[in-house]
Amino acid sequence: MVSSAQEGERECHIVVLTDDDIVDWDHDNPPPMGEEYSQILYSTKLYRFFKYIENRDVAKALLKERGLKNIRIGIEGYPTCKEKVKRRPGGKSEVIYNYVQRPFIQLSWEKEEGKSRHVDFQCVRSKSVPNLIASLGEPTQPAATLNPQVDELDRLISPDPQAPPPPTNDS
């Protein structure tokens, strides 16, 4: 967590591997999951602890009590070593990795809870006046007599039901 915070991150993803696990990735073809951003912790004792759901629940409650946010603790597949290399057309190769099921901890430490640091897109109802003619106090025409501007593409897509059908080429 400290190394993530020193790099300016506000969250971290820690994978708990056993002392015997060996991570051997191909430098040219790393796993496609973004695992290079995970912190790896080698500890068989922690692995045994987090293996049981009851212990994960206790750890989550303790981390929440300490003020950490968005806590996820579980077990996921983690790529350890390459199993085989497949050659693809065009000279490209695909590396198949061997995955082991290991515990992970994901959490963040935002100072202000409930304030997103990301852009939230949402629909906002317009506060503008919907009928400008009525707001000016001028007499209005019925909606049927208004002649809205129609795009040429609109005419092609949805023809007027009262218009005569287009001519056909019957020879």
pLDDT of amino acid 129: 54
Question: Tens digit of pLDDT for each residue in 108-147?
Answer: 987 655 555 555 455 555 555 555 455 555 555 554 445 4
pLDDT value of residue 7: 82
Please report the pLDDT score of residue 135 as a whole number: 54
| C-alpha pair distances (Å), 117 with each of 67, 113, 114, 120 | 18, 10, 10, 9
Q: What is the pLDDT of residue 80?
A: 86
Q: What pLDDT does 114 receive? A: 55
Amino acid at 10: R
Q: Of the ranges 15-19, 79-83, 123-127, which one carries the lowest mean pLDDT score?
A: 123-127
**b/e 136-147 (16+ beta carbons within 10 angstroms → b):** eeeeeeeeeeee
Per-residue confidence (pLDDT) for residue 1, from 0 to 100: 76
pLDDT at 128: 55
At a CB cut-off of 8 Å and minimum separation 6, what does 57 contact? none
pLDDT in tens, 83-116: 888 877 877 777 888 889 999 999 998 765 555 5
Q: Report residue 51 as tokens.
A: 């293996």
27-63 pLDDT, tens digit each:
777 777 666 678 889 999 999 999 999 999 999 999 9
